[in-house]
A = this chain, B = another copy of it.
């Protein structure tokens, strides 16, 4: 199995942002956090609270003086940036990067620049490719932890054998014979209520009724509940309403 990528924060400023990044990482099963020349040193007391319990990521974080040292053991490095286009590099989305990282079978890393200044060209040059999140061209203002979140999310997602949609608290649809009982009861109530008029509409109306009752795929319990409602409407006391 391909090892999860390292997240490398280059000259991060606020401890709070480092903590938020750790939290975003652990949400998606990334644990290798690397800090290059954090402005306020390391450890940083502001990081813990923002990590909201992702303390294991902070505790295992490694600190480096330079990008070069931080990426030394990595085979392929992506720099997340909207700048740095002066370099000739492939530019990929988070989804493409995730697929590539999974397929490559070697250790990868994702470089994130400082909060305001981003990555310098002399740091970017250590990257093999540029990762850019496709954002609103008129408003692209992801913060550090959000950029980490999206990259981590895509890594995690690429590992799924995409689970099909499932039903919460799923109950199998009732056997058609039970559904038929509901349809027959509703039909009888509607006959008595004069719904099937004029006569030439009967056949189309019956078809519609069956369609409406069949599509929801109600469970046996739900069908029984609906039969109870139909019985009440059919046989219960009638209060003549004012028109």
Instruction: Check if A116 is an interface residue, CB within 8 A of chain B.
Output: no
CB distance from A77 to the nearest CB of B (A): 15
Instruction: Check if A87 is an interface residue, CB within 8 A of chain B.
Output: yes
**Mask: chain A, 163-192; 1 = CB below 8 Å from B; 0 = not:** 101111111000000000000001011101
In this complex, the member of A135, A168, A194, A226 whose beta carbon has the largest number of chain B beta carbons within 10 angstroms is: A168
Contacts of A141 in B (CB 8 A): 23, 27, 52-54
Q: Which of B54, B149, B169 makes the CB contact (< 8 A) with A85?
A: B169
Q: Are A189 and B233 in contact (CB under 8 A)?
A: yes
Q: Are A192 and B238 in contact (CB under 8 A)?
A: yes
Contacts of A53 in B (CB 8 A): 139, 141
- Residue on B with the closest CB to A218? B212
Q: Are A88 and B232 in contact (CB under 8 A)?
A: no
Contacts of A2 in B (CB 8 A): none
Contacts of A157 in B (CB 8 A): 93, 95, 134
Which residues 37-63 of A sit at the B interface, judged by CB distance below 8 A?
Answer: 52-54
Interface residue ranges, A against B (CB under 8 Å): 23-24, 26-29, 52-54, 84-93, 95-96, 130, 133-136, 139-143, 146, 149-150, 153, 156-157, 160, 162-163, 165-171, 186, 188-190, 192-195, 208-209, 212, 215-216, 218-219, 222, 225-226, 228-229, 232-239, 241
